[in-house]
Chain A
């Protein structure tokens, strides 16, 4: 079984400050890891993904995340927060390549972290 834990359901930063959203996972096989963002009244959209290539992954809007196997973590960072970053962020894990396709697109999500950005 796999699971995702996001530390902190709410994170508040000032505009221009560092954003750090924490995600820890557990998986019995090497995982694929994702960060999704949900703006109010919209669906989730992919920010970035780790699929066993480079451990430091860059995504849209200057977000990046680092896969650390020893810490089972995939924390999301952005050097300088912008007001438009205010949203809810979800970390997710999948188990790639299981025969029969029953894992394709099957993501296990964390409970989400709401990011608030103050002027």
Chain B
């Protein structure tokens, strides 16, 4: 029973297309995140949501729009895909609080833009 699950695991698409990645967690956490891992393996936070409210938005282009319909789900929609968007996108969840550091990650969604 996967704790943090993302779909799809692999996405191959053309430049200019729009795509979505979905994430669900069954850990009862109230905070969810999107992290991006680039080709050099650097992981960087993009967004965080707490109880459906956007908390962190790390200067990500407007083409990226996260949506959290409830605290167990966080989706990522990307418009007008560019070559530089190719990366692995990780969803994660945690409990909310100042001592938060233990994140539970999904397996990642590998996006390739051609």
Can you list 27 A-B pairs, Cβ within 8 angstroms, ordered by A?
A32-B99, A43-B90, A44-B105, A49-B101, A88-B41, A90-B43, A92-B101, A94-B100, A94-B101, A96-B98, A96-B99, A101-B50, A101-B55, A101-B96, A102-B56, A104-B48, A104-B94, A105-B92, A105-B103, A106-B45, A106-B48, A106-B56, A107-B43, A107-B103, A109-B43, A111-B42, A112-B41
Given contacts A102-B55, A104-B96, contact A46 B48 (CB under 8 A): no
Query: Which of A32, A34, A109 has the most chain B CB atoms closer than 10 A to its own CB?
Result: A109
Q: How large is the interface on B (under 10, 10 to 19, 20 to 34, 35 or more residues)?
A: 20 to 34
With A105-B33, A111-B42 known as contacts, the answer to whether A42 contacts B107 (CB < 8 A) is yes
A107–B36 Cα distance when bound, in Å, is 12
Q: How many A-B residue pairs have CB under 8 A?
A: 79
Q: Taking A97-B98, A105-B31 as contacts, is the C-beta distance between A41 and B107 under 8 angstroms?
A: yes
Q: Which residues of B contact A42 (CB under 8 A)?
A: 107
Name B residues whose Cβ lies closer than 8 Å to a Cβ of A: 4, 31, 33, 40-45, 48, 50, 55-56, 90, 92, 94, 96-108
What residues on B are CB-neighbors of A101 within 8 Å? 50, 55, 96, 98
